[in-house]
Amino acid sequence: MAVGRRSVRGHRYVDSPVLALALQGWRSRTVGLLLMGAFVALLVRAFYLQVINNDFLQEKGDSRYLRDIEISASRGKVMDRHGDMLAVSTPMKSIWAIPVDARNMTADQKRRLADMLEVKPRELDARLAADKGFVFLKRQVPPQVADQVAAAKLPGVHQEREYRRYYPAGEMTAHLVGFTGVDDKGLEGVELAFQSSLLGRAGARTVIRDRRGNIVEDVGATRPPQDGKDVVLAIDSKIQYIAYSQLKAAVIEHKAKAGGVVVLDARTGEILALANWPTYNPNNRSALSGAQLRNRAVTDTFEPGSTLKPFTVALGLDKGKYRYDSVIDCAPGRLTIGKATISDAHPHGKLSVAEVIQKSSNVGTTKIALSMPAEAMWSIFDGLGFGRTPELGFPGEVGGRLRPWKNWKPIEQATMSYGHGISVSLIQLARAYTVFANDGELKPLSLQRADQPLVRGQQIYSPQTAREMRAMLEMVVGPGGTAPKAAVPGYRVGGKTGTAHKLEAGAYANKYIASFVGMAPMSDPRLIVAVMVDEPSDGRYYGGDIAGPVFSQVMAGALRSQGIRPDAPAANMAAAKERS
């Protein structure tokens, strides 16, 4: 018994035939190779994913917690020729939310947020109910309001920096400078015309955010912002104020519908002032109408009336068909062409060419025009830029209407010679008068300050013709002329009045546009001022009575502002004061 127990206790179970594994050698080797192959495959896959194809996995990982935040670039400033600010960006905040998190706000917190943002609670609830991961609650919030929102520590509510455009000159330069939208993109005026230069380029920085949108870590800037370039305009703010205030007063005084004023540097073609009425405040555009937004000096056209006569008469002089003192028989103050009759406002007898301009005779101008080919007259008008856009790059600029000369009938050539049957903008008309100020050379216009040498223009008339026309234009403002109210004390000035019926539904209505375009000082013209008043309704409508005084005040202020010395004799100064 004892021996048997020892044998049981001393037995090695591993040697038991029952427990022996009947596995053939090739099978064990196969299993070992498979396991080793799987391990190698895992190593290769891991190397591929972590080394060769690392970018893909890194991108997938980063997309779950890395975010690029835009760094706003400041829009470039708009300045006048002396560096005075016309448009500048001020830092603001935008309040935004993650709706799924913001819904955790209590009713009292929502009420407080709506009060701070000055929005209706219903509007706030509608935005937070949106099925989006991001919604703006209010754009361009003042810093003090943004600080109040931040101090409230509302769940899901965040803010970021952006800029809002501010216009120091307000309505005075509204049509010229224009304005931007809430996204800081130009919508009107210079803001739109120079959008690519002013806009700049936003930057970006990379941050780590948690699921609630909170920034956990700032990884660093990936692209620095590039602020927009500043734009320096040719505008002189002092002259702009004078033009704006005088135009506004005239439109109100004469109960007119609208008006415009343009002031040019006669030598360089720079636009020193451009004003319209009615206007608007670009800092508060909550209630605007289309009439307020229209930059009438650039986008509206009208029949220029007698302001076009000097160009017709100048053509006659330039062709050698007439001289300064050539006599034109204008009696009895009427001229019949076909079935139409052309009349003078005041009948005249025999007038010299100079007196045709001084007295503004339609009959005299028509006789000069009909003595020349229609093509020659069309070529002059076309060369002056009528019928073509001024190419300022200004939004909405128009070319007006100039029909091909081959389609002209004699009566049409006649009426166009004194500014009917043709349409121009005020900026076109002002530019055309640079030919008389620059010895026959038409100057290109510029919205920006001209720092480069003067650009040569296009020679339209001979220097002699331009000088003779200046003498005639000076007679218009003198005794016996149609615009004594346009005189400027201390300076020799010249110009031309315009009084034209308005076209409505293809017919002339009993409504008028009064205009005046002139220059000073006549000894060496430096400035050109063009004035247009639309539909004066206080009983007066002649250009000399309505637009002439505006020209006088604007020109006087501009000449003094530029420091241009008086060139009128003492006797002329006293006479001008008496007439004005």
Tokens of 126: 């509608």
Percent of the chain with pLDDT strictly greater than 70: 86
Q: Which residues are catalytic?
A: 306
The sign of the dihedral angle between the CA atoms of 79, 80, 83, 87 is: negative
How many angstroms separate the CA atoms of 564 and 560, rounded?
Answer: 6
Give the integer Cα–Cα distance in Å for 483 and 474: 10
Q: What is the DSSP string of 187-216?
A: -SHHHHHTHHHHH-B-EEEEEEE-TTS-EE
Task: Quickly list H helices, 118-229.
Answer: 121-128, 143-152, 174-177, 189-193, 195-199
Per-residue tokens: 428: 């076109």
List C-alpha distances in Å: 449 to 237, 239, 306.
13, 15, 32
pLDDT in tens, 367-391: 999 999 999 999 999 999 999 999 8
Q: Residue 142, CB half-sphere, CA atoms under 13 Å: how many?
A: 6
Structural contact between residues 512 and 557, judged by C-beta atoms closer than 8 angstroms: no
Q: Which of 493, 484, 536, 487 is nearest to 515 (CA)?
A: 536
- Return the H-helix or E-strand segment holding 243: helix 237-253
Establish how many alpha carbons lie within 13 A of residue 537's alpha carbon, considering only the half-sphere containing its beta carbon: 9
Q: Is the dihedral of CA 12, 14, 20, 25 positive or negative?
A: negative
Beta carbons of 250 and 550 less than 8 angstroms apart:
yes
Given a contact cutoff of 8 angstroms between Cβ atoms, the answer to whether 463 and 435 are in contact is no
Show Cβ contacts of residue 10 under 8 Å, excluding neighbours closer than 6 positions. Answer: none
Contact criterion met (CB below 8 Å) for 277 and 264: no
484-516 pLDDT, tens digit each: 999 999 999 999 999 998 888 778 888 999 999
Averaged pLDDT, 255-277: 96
Contact indicator for 385, 466 with CB cutoff of 8 Å:
no
Tell me, what amino acid is at 146? A
- Rg of the chain over all Cα atoms, to the nearest angstrom: 39
Place of tokens 């937004």: 293
- Examine residue 479 and say whether the peptide bond preceding it is cis (omega within 30 degrees of 0): no
Question: What is the length of the chain?
Answer: 580
Which has the closest alpha carbon to 447: 90, 164, 175, 76? 175
CATH topology for the 68-232 domain = Penicillin-binding protein 2a (Domain 2) (3.90.1310)
Asked if CATH classification 3.40.710.10 holds for the domain at 237-579, the reply, yes or no, is: yes
- Quote the CA–CA distance of 175 and 400 in Å, as a whole number: 20
Is a pLDDT exceeding 50 seen at residue 259?
Answer: yes
**Per-residue pLDDT at 470 exceeds 70:** yes
pTM for this entry? 0.81
CA 327 to chain CA centroid, Å, is 48
Give the amino acid at 281.
Answer: N
pLDDT 10s digits, 113-155: 888 888 888 888 888 887 776 788 888 888 888 888 888 888 8
301-356 pLDDT tens trace: 999 999 999 999 999 999 999 999 999 999 999 999 989 999 998 899 999 999 99
d(CA 577, CA 579): 6
Q: Report, as an integer, the average pLDDT of 213-237.
A: 76
Q: What is the mean pLDDT of residues 224-252?
A: 94
Q: How confident is the model at residue 1 (pLDDT cuts 50, 70, 90)?
A: very low
- Token digits of residue 65: 């917690």
CA distances from 251 to 111, 354, 543 (A): 48, 32, 13
Residue 4 confidence (pLDDT) above 50: no
Do the Cβ atoms of 305 and 498 come closer than 8 Å? yes
Domain extent listing, the chain: 68-232, 237-579
Which residues have a Cβ under 8 Å from the Cβ of 576 and sit 6 or more positions away? 487, 488, 489, 490, 568
Indicate the SS3 state at residue 409: coil
Residue 263: phi and psi, rounded to 5, are: -120, 125
Q: Do the beta carbons of residue 523 and residue 201 sit within 8 Å?
A: no
369: Cβ–Cβ under 8 A, 6 or more apart, which residues? Answer: 312, 316, 377, 413, 414, 416, 417
Structure tokens of 159?
């803010």
Question: Is residue 507 helix, strand or coil?
Answer: strand
The pLDDT of residue 219 is above 80: no
Q: DSSP assignment of 374-397, as one string?
A: HHHHHHHHHHTTTTS------TT-
Q: What is the pLDDT of residues 69-83, one digit of tens each?
A: 666 678 899 999 999
